[in-house]
Amino acid sequence: MSGLTIALIVIAVVIVLAAIGAFAATAVLGSSRGLKRRFGPEYERTVARHDGDTKAAERDLTDRVKRHGSLRTRPLEPAAREAYETRWTDAQERFVDSPGDAVTEADRLLAEVAAARGFPDGVHYEEQVAALSVHHGTHVDGYRRVHRVARAGTTGGTQSSLSGTEEMRAAMLDARALFDDLVAEHGTRAGRSEGQGTGRSSAADATGRSREDRGGGRFHSLWAFNRHHPKRS
């Protein structure tokens, strides 16, 4: 075999290896972009939970998609939707006098509504959150936040001392965005997210007001309890 032939073979091998490397890099980049697009802010939160390890975070997110990406949710019956909305409004108004009870009810409501829509049962909290993150990546952290604050009041401490009224208020507001997504009238098809990437609730208007209270024919401001402080005993 001549030296020229060997040189051509070496060049060909180098070109093939370079092409394979470029293809692999493009595939990884495409996967990252796809996950970022699907999960929105949940992507960065997951990277942070993995201490900045992007590969570990993407394995986590990819696994969630494999488990829950094909989930098809069920729409709520109008009566059930109205009942959930009434309970949330009651919890929101209760915040003024009893923020701990309001946060606990918000946590319970999110678990119930998610299960009613077809997500894993709230008894399996971590799995329910994982499924919600696939379809509601923008707002799922509101559930984590309100759940964490609610748990603080049931594990030997008090919500007022461990979290503070301001944190409870912020948790309620964050959780409301996910609640509004879940009680929306349309269902979720596989691979499609409700309200994801919009950065706002699908059921709240630009003024921050919730949908009309059908029972009393009036609007409840989402920010109403921000202007009050809980009564002290």
Higher pLDDT, 169 or 159: 169
Higher pLDDT, 225 or 43: 43
Q: Round to whole Å and give the CA distance between 49 and 34.
A: 19
Query: Is there a contact between 105 and 95 (Cβ–Cβ < 8 Å)?
Result: no
State yes or no: pLDDT of 220 exceeds 70: no
Q: Report the pLDDT averaged over residues 25-45.
A: 77
> How confident is residue 31, by pLDDT bands cut at 50, 70 and 90?
confident
CA torsion, points 80, 81, 87, 90, in degrees to nearest 10?
-140
Q: Report the pLDDT averaged over residues 149-172.
A: 72
Q: Which residue has 């606990």 as its token pair?
A: 104
Residue pLDDT, tens place only, 163-178: 488 899 999 999 999 9
Query: Is there a contact between 120 and 127 (Cβ–Cβ < 8 Å)?
Result: yes
Q: Report the pLDDT averaged over residues 141-155.
A: 86
Q: How many CA atoms lie within 13 A of 26 on its CB side?
A: 6
Q: Round to whole Å and give the CA distance between 93 and 228.
A: 10
Residue pLDDT, tens place only, 84-107: 999 999 999 999 899 999 999 999
**Mean pLDDT value across the chain:** 76
The reported pTM is: 0.68
Query: Is there a contact between 221 and 204 (Cβ–Cβ < 8 Å)?
Result: no
Residue pLDDT, tens place only, 49-75: 999 999 999 999 999 999 999 999 999
Residue pLDDT, tens place only, 1-10: 666 676 667 6
Residue type for position 64: R
Beta-carbon neighbour count of residue 107 at 10 Å? 26
How many residues in the chain? Answer: 233
Q: Which residues of 67-85 are buried (b: 16+ CB within 10 A; e: fewer)?
A: ebeebebeebeeeebeebb
> How confident is residue 15, by pLDDT bands cut at 50, 70 and 90?
confident
Q: Report the pLDDT averaged over residues 110-126.
A: 95
